[in-house]
Every structure is written in C-alpha cells, then in structure tokens.
C-alpha cells in the first residue's frame, strides 16, 4: 500500500469528541501529533475538533482530503454508539466495515485476563474499513486504522494519549516515514525581550524580507507572547546541511540586529536560560518578591535540577515584611514609596545578605487592578539585581495588562536582568 502513494507533505488533524467542544477541555493530542509531523517534515495546515456526529465527521474528513494528503483523526474509536469515527470514514471512502475475527479474539482475551467477559458492544472495535491496515494498540481495546484513499492517507487513532502516543510513534518510525518526500521542514526560533512587537517587526523586516528571495526561501513569523516577542524562521529543503547552514546564517543576521535582546535561540524559556547560566558559573540565586508574590522563584523552580542554584528567598507582600524579613530600612520606604528603585535595590541586597546567595533579585510594583496613582499607575514595577559581580542595578518598568500578566512580565524582567548581568563580557574589574 505504501508503494505508489504520493509523498505526504501536508496534513490536517481532526479530533472527534463532543466533550472537546465544551468550555472545560481542549484537544491536547494535537500537540504531540504536531511535534511528530514536524519531525517528518510534514506541514500541519489546520486542526479541527468535531462532535460525535457521523455525518459531520464525514463532512470534515471529505473537506480535509480535498486540501491535504494526510488526515489524522483522533478519538471516537470506543465501543459505544457515540463512537462514530470508523463509520464516518467508511462513508467517505465508500467501503464497508469488516469484522476481523483475530481482533475480536484479542479483545476477548484482554477482557479474560481481568476475569471479565467481553461486552458484546466491544465487537464494534473489531470493525475495520475494508482494505485498511490495522494499527496495534498495546495499551487499550481500540485498534487504530490506516486507509489509503487514492494515494492520500487517512489515519484513525484512539483518543487516550497513552494509547495514541505509541501508535503514532510506530507510524512515524515506519509507514509515515516511508511516505515523506526528500524535502523536510527546518526551523529555528529566536526569543527576544525588551522591545515591543511593532518595534521588533520594524527592525526585523528589512532583514527577513530578503530571505524570501533565497532558494529555498526562509519564511519568518513574529509572535507576541507574554513577556517576550518570538521570531520563527522556517525553510523547506531536501538538503539538511544546507538548510541548517542557511538558518544559522539567517539567525546570525538577526542576532547582529537584536544583540542581547535575544535571550533564547533553542526554544528554552527564560527560567531555563537563567538556570543554565547560574549552573555554568556555579552561582546561586535568591529573591525578595513583592508584587510577583513568589512567581519568579516558582518559575525558576519549575526547572528540574533547579535546587542546585535556587536558594530561596522571601515573599514580602506587606511593608512590615519588607522591613522585617528583607531588611529594607523603613525610612527608605517612607522617602521613596514601596514601589521605587531604591526599595527594589534594598530588597535585592537584603535577601542576598540574608541568604548568602551569589545573586539577589528584588521586585516591587503595582499589579492592579487597584492601587495605582497618577505618578505610579498600575503596572509600575521596580526591579533590582544585587551581586558580587557588579554594583547593584535597578530599573523601573511600565507593564500593561491584567494582574496576572503584570505579575508574569515583572518576573520575566527580574529574570532578564539576571540574564543580562551573567551574559556581560567579564570586565577587568
């Protein structure tokens, strides 16, 4: 069956399940599938969630087959009447469902191993679209299926992630790998911090617009995410080395423009970058956080192994704790206000001396929605870094958005000031 089929270049994913259309659940299987497709160089063009409705599933499969050459369906392979995926695809390809006796037998044995008799409804799971290939499911009752439709492929996978994942991995290792062309997708990502989206666009556009004339061209997308602006570079090529070289060259052009505003070129998050820098230099970190309420330390400790460099610190939400736990002189708060660079510096120095960490970070600000003043509106945040590497430094930021957005960005700025400090060329100091 894999002979004579066309090369698979473009895919769509269709997740089936009415529960995925509610307000509580998302189709997360598509994240895994998207990653696996990218590895194969197959472009994911769209993904859809449809309810458990036979004719609607059929309609979406039909449309997808008009547009792409690989359609991956997930879910709807259970034993009940609600599970319509098999029937819907059979309708689309105009072939009958055939009961496979060996699947029935395997299902029976699976139930018998638990001293259960197989309910008769489970025979539905042994129905295979005529001419389809059965995909083994070591972790559940529903086998998958793969059907050739005029050189295009429709793949039916079960919904539970632990059943879907090994099945997709087997497909990626075998049948799908045999069907991809020599051209693959290659990508690189630059994460920047410190400039707004339109500013990044303005600086990047003259650089990346030239890349569209390359052969093969490199396409660039700019995305604004909380606390960072991302530049995604993608090219399609049959020559892995040439593609890698072209992307590296392109990346370096952007690095020359953005300099230290680029904090990650391999997709790693800010907390991971900072963690690695600390680890590389055997430094430790502590923080005294006010408006972020512990978020910066929580993000740092999301990274496995962070106990090697995170000492801990203080959440000084009240002014009493700022003076009591973080050693900020009360007079300083009176003179400058709790949200000020001098207080941020006192927090950073206080927590560093109190914990003995190599680096201390202080964050104080107004996360809102209330508490702002004309002089210090909601989003005003002072951040400071204290270390033995340089004299203390502080900055005042005006961040925007909701309370949680301001918290996230304030933590991001704290981490970023540490990163910039650690990435500076070592002076003769």
Nearer to a copy of itself, 131 or 324 (CB): 324
Query: Phi and psi dihedrals of 382, rounded to 5?
Result: -105, 130
What b/e string do you get for 238-269 counting C-beta neighbours within 10 Å, with b at 16 or more? eeeeebeebbeebbeebeeebeebbbbbeebb
Give the residue with the Cβ less far from a copy of itself, 132 or 311: 311
Give the residue with the Cβ less far from a copy of itself, 132 or 399: 399
Q: How far is CA 414 from the centre of its chain?
A: 22
Least Å from the CB of residue 140 to a copy of itself = 10
**Which residues ranging from 197 to 226 are in contact with a copy of itself (CB under 8 A)?**
197-198, 201-202, 221-223, 225
What's the closest the beta carbon of residue 252 comes to a copy of itself, in angstroms?
Answer: 22
Q: How far is the CB of 78 from a copy of itself (least distance, A)?
A: 8
Cβ closest to a copy of itself, residue 95 vs residue 232? 232
3-class DSSP state for residue 147?
Answer: strand
Residue 87 interacts with a copy of itself (CB under 8 A)? Answer: no
Q: How many CB atoms lie within 10 A of CB 109?
A: 10
Cα 390 from Cα 408, distance rounded (Å):
26
- The contact pattern for a copy of itself, residues 107-146, with x = CB under 8 A and - = no contact, is ------------x-xx------------------------
d(CA 74, CA 78): 11
CB-based contacts of 134: which residues, under 8 Å, 6+ apart? 100, 103, 128, 143, 144, 145
Min CB(86)–a copy of itself separation in Å: 17
428 binds a copy of itself (CB under 8 A): no
3-class DSSP state for residue 409? helix
Q: What angle do CA 173, 176, 177 make, to 5 degrees?
A: 60
Say how many C-beta atoms besides its own lie within 10 A of residue 170's C-beta: 15
Q: How far is the CB of 310 from a copy of itself (least distance, A)?
A: 5
Cα separation, 178 vs 201, whole angstroms: 39
227 binds a copy of itself (CB under 8 A): no
Residue 17 or 144 with smaller CB distance to a copy of itself: 17
Candidate residues 3, 4, 23, 428; the one interacting with a copy of itself per rule CB under 8 A? 23
Residues in 338-377 at the binding interface with a copy of itself, rule: CB under 8 A: 354-356, 367-371
With CB under 8 A as the contact rule, the residue among 144, 313, 362, 365 that binds a copy of itself is 313
Tell me: does residue 55 bind a copy of itself (CB under 8 A): no
Looking at the Cβ atoms of 26 and 173, the one nearer to a copy of itself is 26
What is the distance in angstroms between the CA of the first residue and the CA of the last residue of the chain?
A: 69
Distance of CA 204 to the CA centre of its chain: 23
- CB nearer to a copy of itself: pick between 265 and 301: 301
Is 301 a residue that touches a copy of itself (CB under 8 A)? yes
**Angular region, 144: left φ>0, alpha ψ -120 to 50, beta rest:** beta
By CB under 8 A, residue 47 contacts a copy of itself:
yes
Q: Does 335 bind a copy of itself (CB under 8 A)?
A: no
Least gap, CB of 375 to a copy of itself (angstroms): 16
Please state, in angstroms and rounded to a whole number, the distance separating the CA atoms of residues 399 and 190. Answer: 22
- Footprint of a copy of itself on residues 315-334 (CB under 8 A)? 315-318, 320-321, 324-325
Kindly determine how many residues on this chain lie close enough to bind a copy of itself according to the rule CB under 8 A.
96
Q: Give the nearest distance from C-beta 136 to a copy of itself in angstroms.
A: 18
Contact between 402 and a copy of itself per CB under 8 A: yes
Which residues, 150 to 179, sit near a copy of itself by CB under 8 A?
A: 162
Of 78 and 362, nearer to a copy of itself (C-beta) is 78
* Cβ–Cβ under 8 Å, residues 292 and 407: yes
Distance between CA atoms of 79 and 99, rounded to whole angstroms? Answer: 13
Instruction: Name 43's bridge partners.
Output: 10
Whole-number minimum distance, CB 66 to a copy of itself, in Å? 9
């Amino acid at each position: 069956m894999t002979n004579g089929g066309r090369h698979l270049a473009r895919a769509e994913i269709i997740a089936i399940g009415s529960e995925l259309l509610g307000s509580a659940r998302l189709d997360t299987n598509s994240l895994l599938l998207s990653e696996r497709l990218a590895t194969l160089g197959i472009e994911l063009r769209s993904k859809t969630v449809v309810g458990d409705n036979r004719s609607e599933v059929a309609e979406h499969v039909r449309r997808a087959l008009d547009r792409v050459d690989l359609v991956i369906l997930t879910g709807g392979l259970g034993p009940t009447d609600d599970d319509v995926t098999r029937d819907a695809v059979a309708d689309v390809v105009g072939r009958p469902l055939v009961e496979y006796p060996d699947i029935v037998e395997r299902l029976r044995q699976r139930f018998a191993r638990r001293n259960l008799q197989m309910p008769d409804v489970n025979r539905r799971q042994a129905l295979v679209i005529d001419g389809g290939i059965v995909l083994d499911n070591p972790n559940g009752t529903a086998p998958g299926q793969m059907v050739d439709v005029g050189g295009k492929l429709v793949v039916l996978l079960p919904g539970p992630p632990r059943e879907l994942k090994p099945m997709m991995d087997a497909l990626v290792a075998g049948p799908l790998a045999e069907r991809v062309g020599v051209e693959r997708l290659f990508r690189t990502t630059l994460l920047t911090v410190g400039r707004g989206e339109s500013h990044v666009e303005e600086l990047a556009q003259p650089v990346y617009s030239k890349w569209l004339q390359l052969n093969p061209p490199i396409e660039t997308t700019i995305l604004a995410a909380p606390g960072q602006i991302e530049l995604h570079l993608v090219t399609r090529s049959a020559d892995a080395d040439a593609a890698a070289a072209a992307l590296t060259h392109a990346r370096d052009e952007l690095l020359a423009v953005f300099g230290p505003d680029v904090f990650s070129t391999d997709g790693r998050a800010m907390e991971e970058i900072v963690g690695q820098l600390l680890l590389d230099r055997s430094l430790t970190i502590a923080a005294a956080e006010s408006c972020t309420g512990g978020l910066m330390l929580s993000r740092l400790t999301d990274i496995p192994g962070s106990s090697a460099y995170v000492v801990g610190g203080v959440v000084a939400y009240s002014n009493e704790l700022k003076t009591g736990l973080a050693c900020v002189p009360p007079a300083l708060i009176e003179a400058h206000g709790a949200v000020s660079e001098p207080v941020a510096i006192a927090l950073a120095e206080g927590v560093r001396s109190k914990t003995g960490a190599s680096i201390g970070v202080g964050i104080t600000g107004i996360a809102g929605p209330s508490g702002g003043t004309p002089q210090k509106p909601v989003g005003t945040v002072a951040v400071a870094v204290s270390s033995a590497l340089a004299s203390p430094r502080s900055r005042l930021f005006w961040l925007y958005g909701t309370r949680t957005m301001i918290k996230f960005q304030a933590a991001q700025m704290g981490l970023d000031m540490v990163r910039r400090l650690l990435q500076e060329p070592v002076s003769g100091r």
